[in-house]
């Protein structure tokens, strides 16, 4: 039986037959893409000079009320494509000079993606594969990507599960995400940087500092450093941008410079060496991709 006939790919475990109806994430049986491009605004170890070859998949298994990409994650903007077309897009991005193939929110299409990668990775496709995820993942699904993914680019959104419930309709985020991240690290191990200064293998964990929730960000950073020390990179992000009106007042503003500085100083105090920080201007809607299915 196809994995899509009784879908258990994410921790929601809807169990729906995606050939006949849709579950929590709303994804069907076919891959749906919103956009692909050479993206220069990922972490420097990924973007380099040419850009990361980002492929944005439609839908998501979280419901983050502040999502900057809600056009595709919540509203499903995109175009259904074949696995053959996905293969063509990956090879095209490589031909255009992409430093890696960056799969953005791929969880609900893992069986199809894995099939494509098995047919071309280390053959026609020779650049690293990046799995870009919210980390709300089943370990079994992550294991399906073992040997196919070189770099995991993982969020760790919440330490306090109450925040996950409020902001992302997710009651068990921290335990689920940290177990998934541990499996990611088991697969790729300590990071490796090439002579060109780009990451070839490893784990980067993103911590988006939410306004009003500096303490939660500190707890996440402490957990990551205590668990992995300097074997991973921590990306501490200030780019939270309110794009819709939220029912929680603190989410209706940008992060203050003082809040972000407090988190950065905390990371330095506990000994974090491998971290990325962002400049103030990253908190802008101009950094949200202009999704366009006409190129797909």
* pLDDT tens profile 164-185: 999 999 999 999 999 999 999 9
Phi, psi of 260 (to 5 degrees): -65, -45
Going by C-alpha positions, the residue among 118, 124, 55, 132 that lies closest to residue 86 is 55
Given a cut of 50, is residue 193 above it in pLDDT?
Answer: yes
In this model, does residue 286 exceed pLDDT 50? no
Percentage above 70 pLDDT, the chain: 95
In this predicted structure, the answer to whether residue 281 has a pLDDT above a threshold of 60 is no
Structural domain includes residue 25: no
- Please check whether residue 22 lies inside any domain of the structure: no
Whether 16 maps to a domain, the answer reads no
Enclosing H/E stretch for 199: strand 199-208
DSSP string, 235-292: EEE------S--SSGGGGSPPPHHHHHHHHHHHHHHT--SEE---GGGSSGGGS----
What pTM, to 2 d.p., does this model score? 0.95
Is the residue at 83 inside a domain? yes
Could you tell me the residue range of the domain that residue 179 belongs to?
31-295
What CATH number has the domain bearing residue 54? 3.20.20.70
Domain-located, residue 78:
yes
Say how many domains are in the chain.
1
- Give the pLDDT of residue 1: 55
Q: Looking at residues 73-85, what average pLDDT do you find? A: 95
The tokens for 234 are 């921590």
Q: What is the pLDDT of the chain when averaged over all its residues?
A: 94
Asked whether residue 271 is domain-assigned, the answer is yes
Nearest to 80 by CA among 29, 38, 130, 7: 29
Q: Residue written as tokens 């069986």?
A: 111
| 17 domain residue, yes or no | no
What's the rounded Cα separation, in Å, for the pair 293 and 296? 5
Q: What is the pLDDT of residue 296?
A: 80
Q: In the prediction, which pLDDT does 137 show? A: 98
For residue 44, tell me if it sits in a domain. yes
């Amino acid at each position: 039986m196809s994995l899509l006939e009784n879908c258990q790919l994410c921790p929601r475990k809807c169990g729906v037959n995606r050939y006949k109806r849709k579950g929590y994430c709303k994804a069907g049986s076919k891959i749906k893409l919103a956009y692909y491009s050479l993206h220069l605004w990922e972490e420097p170890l990924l973007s380099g000079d040419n850009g990361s070859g980002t492929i944005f998949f439609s839908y998501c298994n979280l419901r983050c009320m502040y999502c900057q990409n809600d056009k595709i994650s919540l509203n499903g903007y995109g175009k259904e494509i074949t696995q053959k077309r996905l293969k063509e897009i990956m090879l095209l991005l490589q031909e255009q000079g992409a430093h890696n193939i960056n799969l953005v929110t791929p969880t609900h299409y893992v069986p199809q993606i894995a099939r494509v990668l098995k047919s071309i990775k280390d053959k026609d496709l020779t650049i690293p594969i990046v799995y870009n995820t919210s980390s709300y993942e089943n370990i079994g699904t992550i294991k399906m990507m073992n040997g196919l993914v070189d770099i995991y680019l993982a969020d760790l959104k919440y330490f306090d599960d109450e925040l996950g419930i409020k902001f992302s309709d997710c009651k068990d985020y921290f335990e689920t995400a940290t177990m998934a991240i541990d499996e990611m690290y088991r697969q790729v191990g300590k990071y490796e940087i090439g002579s060109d200064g780009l990451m070839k293998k490893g784990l980067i964990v993103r911590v988006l500092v939410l306004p009003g929730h500096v303490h939660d960000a500190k707890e996440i950073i402490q957990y990551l450093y205590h668990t992995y020390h300097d074997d991973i990179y921590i990306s501490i992000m200030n780019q939270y941008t309110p794009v819709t009106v939220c029912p929680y007042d603190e989410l209706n503003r940008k992060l203050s410079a003082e809040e972000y500085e407090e988190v950065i100083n905390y990371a330095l105090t506990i000994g974090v060496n491998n971290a990325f920080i962002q400049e103030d201007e990253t908190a802008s809607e101009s950094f949200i991709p202009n999704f366009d299915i006409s190129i797909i």
